[in-house]
Amino acid sequence: MEATVIRTGTEGKTWGGGNEPLKASYGKMMMWFFIVSDALTFSGFLAAYGFSRFKFIESWPIADQVFNHFPFLHGVDAPMYYVAFMTFILIFSSVTMVLGVDAGHRLDKSKVTLYMFLTIIGGLIFVGSQAWEWANFIQGEYGAVTTKGGNVLQFVNAEGERVALEDIAASIPSERTAIGRSSEVWFNSNETVTDYSLEQVKAGFVANPDLLIKTQITGEDGHKIILNREESLAKFNNEAIGVVEGANLTHNEYGPPLFADFFFFITGFHGFHVFSGVILNIIIFFNVILGTYERRGSYEMVEKVGLYWHFVDLVWVFVFTFFYLV
C-alpha cells in the first residue's frame, strides 16, 4: 500500500517557515521574543507596585514632595522637574535611534554614525541622572522620626514648609558617638546610623514653638495632615522611637518601607536595562565606524538594537506614569 504525500505550496504567504518566518530574520524574531517576555516581567513589577500602593493609599508618599530636587539648586522646590528632564532625554534618544535606523535602510554610514552617537549620549545622560537621583534619595534632605507603628513623622514650620533635622537639632549639644561596623560594637542589621539622636531632635522640637508635625496620612484635600502644636507635642512624646535620614531597604524618611523598596527595585531594574542598551549601542557604534555593516550591505544590527532601545524607552513611560505621576 503506497502512502500519498500532499505538498502545500507556501509561495506568496506571509508565514513560510524556513529561516525567515513572518518575513523577519531569526535575529529580529528572537529580539521580539525577548521584548515580549521582558514586558511581562515589568508588568508584574508594576502590578505589584500598584497593589501595594492601593493597600497603603492613605500613607503613601506624594511624589511631588519626594522628587522635588534639581542639581545645583539646593533648597529650591522643583517638583518632578528633573524626572521630566530625564524622561525628555530618553524619549529624544529614541528619536535619534529611529533616524539612525532609517539612515541604515538607506546605507548612509555617516548619518548612522551621527545618530548612534547622539543616542549613546542620551543614554549616558539618563543613566547618570538616575544615579544622581538614587544618591539624593538615599541621602535624603530633611530627615524624619519613626513611630512605634512604623509610621514617619516629618517636621514643618508654620507655613507648612519642610524643616530639616539639622535646623532643629544642630544647636543641641550631644556626646553621641556613631558606632559603625568597623568598631568593636556592631549595630544590628536593621539599625541605621543617623547624624542626630532622638534626644537632640526632641530637645530642638520642644524649644521651637513654631515647629509642627506632618503625619504620613493624606487628608481629603490630597495633602498630608499637619497637626497643631499641642497635637504635635503629644504625637512626638508618645510615639516617636527613632530618627531616620534618607532611605534604605529597611527605613526611609518618605513613608512606608515598601515605597523605597519598589523605588530601588523598579527604577534599578530599568536602569540596568538602559545601561545594557548603552553598552550594546557602543558596540554597534564602533562596528558602524569600522564599516562592518557597510561591507555586509545591511544595517539590520542597528535595527535590532533599536527595537531594544525603543522598548526601554516605552517601559520608562509606564514607570514614569505609575511611579511618579499617578
| Per-residue pLDDT at 180 | 45
Query: Across 32-46, 68-82, 200-214, which has the greatest mean pLDDT?
Result: 32-46
SS3 at position 152? strand
Q: Do both 122 and 262 map to the same domain? A: yes
Please answer whether residues 90 and 313 qualify as being in contact, where contact means their C-beta atoms are separated by less than 8 angstroms.
Answer: yes
Lowest mean pLDDT among 109-113, 122-126, 249-253: 249-253
CATH number assigned to the domain comprising residue 294: 1.20.120.80
Q: Which domain holds residue 199?
A: 144-245
| Per-residue pLDDT at 72 | 82
Select from 245, 266, 290 the last residue of a domain. 245
pLDDT at 110 over 90: yes
Distance of alpha carbon 256 from alpha carbon 61, whole angstroms: 8
The model's confidence at residue 186, banded by pLDDT at 50, 70 and 90, is very low
| Per-residue pLDDT at 16 | 55
How many structural domains compose the chain? 2
Of the candidates 263, 280, 216, the one whose C-alpha atom is nearest the C-alpha of residue 244 is 216
Q: Is 17 part of a structural domain of the chain?
A: no
Query: Across 19-23, 113-117, 168-172, 293-297, which has the greatest mean pLDDT?
Result: 113-117
pLDDT at 162 over 60: yes
Q: What is the pTM of this model?
A: 0.83
Return the sign of the alpha-carbon dihedral for residues 47, 52, 58, 60: negative
| Per-residue pLDDT at 313 | 95
Instruction: Please give the distance of CA 321 from its chain centroid, rounded to a whole number.
Output: 11
Q: Do both 55 and 149 map to the same domain? A: no
Grid coordinates belonging to 109: 554610514
**pLDDT for 283-303, tens place per residue?**
999 999 999 999 998 899 999
Q: Is 11 part of a structural domain of the chain?
A: no
Q: Do both 55 and 185 map to the same domain? A: no
Distance of alpha carbon 155 from alpha carbon 164, whole angstroms: 7
| Per-residue pLDDT at 185 | 38
Q: Do both 61 and 148 map to the same domain? A: no
pLDDT at 88 over 70: yes
Select from 221, 245, 269 the last residue of a domain. 245
